[in-house]
């Protein structure tokens, strides 16, 4: 029997596209994708932290699903996305239920990261260079109903506006 994975995707449409690629990679690697967080053996939260409300929503979701390590089937809780990129050390320190943190340019390695966490390997963080070019033509499972899909026109931003964190979370435009 394959391990079951439930996925929560928060934030912008770029995050949703990343989530759909991670779902495709997990499916291709033989994981069973389910919607029931309480029954899932692996819980993945793809986070956002662009504004304070998004950061709080991400924290609330992580804490909510962390309970399934005690009352559900959860063997692994993995946090990905922008909040993971920005607050990697704080997340591991403040939420000990989190088993692994995955950066915004490392999501293509999600299947191997999940396998390592389930085998209790000590890799708790995986972050590639923020300006690493993103891979194309990866498997993808659409979550938008199948009759439309979001696409990324660009990744990151080169502007470095004083009020914006995007270049630090998503890298340069590719």
Could you report the per-residue pLDDT of 80-136, keeping only the tens digit for each?
A: 999 999 999 999 999 999 999 999 999 999 999 999 999 987 778 989 988 887 777
**46 versus 121: which is more confidently predicted?**
46
Average pLDDT, the chain: 91
Mean pLDDT computed over 22-44: 97
User: Residue 48: what are its φ and ψ, rounded to 5°?
Assistant: -135, 150
**46 versus 164: which is more confidently predicted?**
46
- So what's the pLDDT on residue 153? 78
């Amino acid at each position: 029997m394959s391990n079951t994975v439930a996925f929560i995707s928060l934030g912008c449409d770029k995050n949703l596209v990343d989530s759909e690629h991670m779902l495709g990679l997990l499916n291709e690697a033989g994981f069973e994708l389910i919607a029931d967080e309480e029954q899932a053996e692996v819980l993945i939260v793809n986070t956002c932290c662009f504004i304070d409300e998004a950061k709080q929503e991400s924290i609330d979701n992580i804490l909510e699903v962390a309970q399934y390590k005690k009352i559900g089937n959860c063997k692994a809780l993995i946090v990905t996305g922008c909040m993971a990129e920005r607050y990697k050390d704080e997340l591991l320190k403040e939420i000990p239920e989190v088993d692994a943190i995955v950066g915004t340019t490392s999501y293509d390695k999600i299947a191997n990261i999940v396998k390592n966490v389930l085998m209790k390997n000590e890799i708790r963080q995986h972050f590639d260079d923020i300006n690493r070019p993103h891979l194309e033509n990866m498997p993808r499972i659409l979550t938008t109903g199948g009759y439309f899909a979001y696409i990324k026109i660009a990744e990151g931003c080169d502007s470095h506006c004083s009020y914006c964190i995007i270049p630090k979370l998503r890298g340069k435009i590719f």
